[in-house]
Chain A
Amino acid sequence: MNVYDLPDKRGHFGPYGGVFVAETLISALDVLREQYEYYRNDAAFQEEFAYELKHYVGRPSPIYHAKRWSEQLGGAQILLKREDLNHTGAHKVNNTIGQALLARRMGKTRVIAETGAGQHGVASATVAARYGMQCVVYMGAEDVRRQATNVYRMKLLGAEVIPVESGSRTLKDALNEAMRDWVTHVEDTFYIIGTVAGPHPYPMMVRDFQTVIGKEARIQMLEEYGRQPDALIACVGGGSNAIGLFYPYIDDDAVKMIGVEAAGRGLETGQHAATLTKGRPGVLHGNRTYLIQDDSGQIIETHSISAGLDYPGVGPEHAWLKDIHRAEYVGITDDEALEAFHALCRYEGIMPALESSHALAYAAKYAPTLAKDKLLLVNLSGRGDKDMATVAQLSGITF
């Protein structure tokens, strides 16, 4: 059996990952890497992390058999890993707790974060409140306008939300701005990145904190079904919920891994966020990975109905898993995701996040092609309450 052991010392997953930042950030990243490498193997740190996940987040999250929906689809059985039941409603909090605990041990009193739809911003504001740290969240001005409820939620939690007016005024620009803040205030500030992207050690560190999803799944599957699933399905924006589920299964070749990207209005329209399907390798936000870019290397604006998938890059580990054919990456359109959103509401009484609806939509396509005794484990990465306004608007409903 192969033993997968990436990244290397300098954060490479094959040709991807690494540290592509200006010299001004190098020493901050060196310190972060050293500190994280220490606490990664520190029993007391890991114990506190596990305690917080259990008592504050409410882990383990259950695996739920979506029986009625599976029957209706008429093929493989669809199982849902219920990250939507976590405190704050998504997998994001697994990572923010880990990074906040590290920040505290490093003596930082201020945390900053970037956010797109606001989920990672809320998860960061939440842990900052929990541990008594100052919190600043950078959010594209366009997203601030679109996600007013989440902006208010962050403010209620005591965070300061700074609208970013540069570039396309969305997630990628918020990330640029947070990096600028970090390089200027590195003495007292910890930058909590929300996904498995950015310079090393972020892709590894965020993955490690999210692998609780896959580790639990392996135990729960054995306990409840006596075996591991035939395939794992998860949505991929930056890819943190997907890698969190996939990672403990990488060496287990019998388990198929499928990442679902946002095909937006269709892969051929140019209006999508299907980075691994349609992008080319390049360098952005501190790492080498697949990017949605034009011929001259400028980053292009992406589109997805789901703000959490609307990002022109993707975690470098996914780029590597794609190249070595260990994971498969597919696209689901806005319309297909919406259909799955409604289906899960009606058949199972679960309102999924639009991000997670992409994974569900692929499961709905895939399940009917398989026998009824096959098991598909879908990461239900977040709940859909935050998306009600978007869905209502698309259905022509105003309140």
Chain B
Amino acid sequence: MNRIKQTFTALQANHKKALIPFITAGDPDPELTVELMHCLVDAGSDIIELGVPFSDPMADGPTIQRSSERALKHHVTLNNVLDMVTQFRRKNEHTPVVLMGYANPVEAMGHAVFAEKARKASVDGVLTVDYPPEECEQWVDCLEQQGVDAIFLLSPTTKPERIKQVAKLAKGYIYYVSLKGVTGASHLDLHDVKSMLGKLRQSIFIPIGVGFGIRDEVTARAVAELADAVVIGSRIIEEIENSSRDEILNKVKLLVRSMRQAIDEKLITT
């Protein structure tokens, strides 16, 4: 059983939901990333989504885009990101790490080369936001051969036939984008999320995480009631952006810990 599956199985046994934070590798600088990853785990994260910086992050809002730009100022490459995961694994063998990024850096490296390197670095899953299922059969094969999960996005506008198509390819968990727009937007509608998750569960039999637009404990708590996992990205990046370098670890730890508490609290009271 791989780490992602193990993690969800253990959480389900304890009636808990997964907390999945997102940070961009190399933001604010490459030296801090591995420490930040450990800090996220200490604060109660179950899975880490590690962003691979890209010059043209079309699906992201300004916050994550700025984090990508900060990382690229330090010339962080896909190889560097893989090294960071290797380093993280020296002290942590159980927390799944999912790389999230855009197609071009993996195409530049080559699908097969990347997939092998990802396995060697103990990467558990990869989400390539601009590879819809129609365009990435070869890519999914490469990942599968190396035992790395291909994670996919679904959105409020995804049609039923496509949900089935994605269900066939997707491994690990599904990342449901809870609103129309880019990352960091702030108008998540819980009723919509609830009704869509109901539809998704008719064809999707792996865990479903919800992200985009989860900015506070109240929303995190409400989403945890509906989904298997809560993904928090822009809100954490903002914390990194607005803190001096010395404060970052502490500030992020406090934020993630309060999200963790919020998520767990609701489940006890319902």
Of residues 152 to 205 in A, which have CB atoms within 8 Å of B's CB atoms? Answer: 166-167, 172-173, 176, 179-180, 183-184, 186
Assess A283 versus B102: contact at CB under 8 Å? Given A20-B131, A296-B78.
Answer: yes
CB of A28 within 8 A of chain B?
A: yes
In the complex, which of the residues A19, A183, A282 contacts B104, with contact meaning CB atoms closer than 8 Å? A282
CB of A10 within 8 A of chain B?
A: yes
Contact call B158/A27, Cβ cutoff below 8 A: yes
Contact call A24/B155, Cβ cutoff below 8 A: yes
CB of A1 within 8 A of chain B?
A: no
- Cβ contacts B105-138/A at 8 Å (1 or 0 each): 1111100000000000000000001111011000
Contact call B158/A295, Cβ cutoff below 8 A: no
Bound-state CA distance A280–B105 (Å) is 12
Contact call B108/A23, Cβ cutoff below 8 A: no
- Stretch in A100-108, A229-237, A285-293, A374-382 with 4+ CB within 8 Å of B: A285-293
Contact call B162/A26, Cβ cutoff below 8 A: yes
Minimum CB–CB distance for A13 against chain B, Å: 14
- Number of residues from A at the complex interface, CB < 8 A: 37
Assess A298 versus B55: contact at CB under 8 Å? Given A24-B155, A26-B155.
Answer: yes
Minimum CB–CB distance for B246 against chain A, Å: 27
In the complex, which of the residues A23, A27, A183 contacts B182, with contact meaning CB atoms closer than 8 Å? A183
Contact call B107/A21, Cβ cutoff below 8 A: no
CB of B61 within 8 A of chain A?
A: yes
CB of B25 within 8 A of chain A?
A: no
Contact call A297/B108, Cβ cutoff below 8 A: yes
In the complex, which of the residues A20, A24, A27, A166 contacts B65, with contact meaning CB atoms closer than 8 Å? A166
CB of B58 within 8 A of chain A?
A: yes
Assess A23 versus B56: contact at CB under 8 Å? Given A183-B181, A184-B181, A184-B185.
Answer: no
**Closest Cβ neighbor of A21 among chain B residues:** B130
Contact call A297/B152, Cβ cutoff below 8 A: no
Of residues 18 to 42 in B, which have CB atoms within 8 Å of A's CB atoms? Answer: none
CB of A18 within 8 A of chain B?
A: yes
CB of B154 within 8 A of chain A?
A: yes
Leading 5 A-B pairs by shortest Cβ distance: A297-B108, A297-B105, A27-B157, A22-B59, A296-B77
Interface residues of A (CB under 8 A from B): 10, 18-28, 30, 166-167, 172-173, 176, 179-180, 183-184, 186, 280-286, 291, 293, 295-299
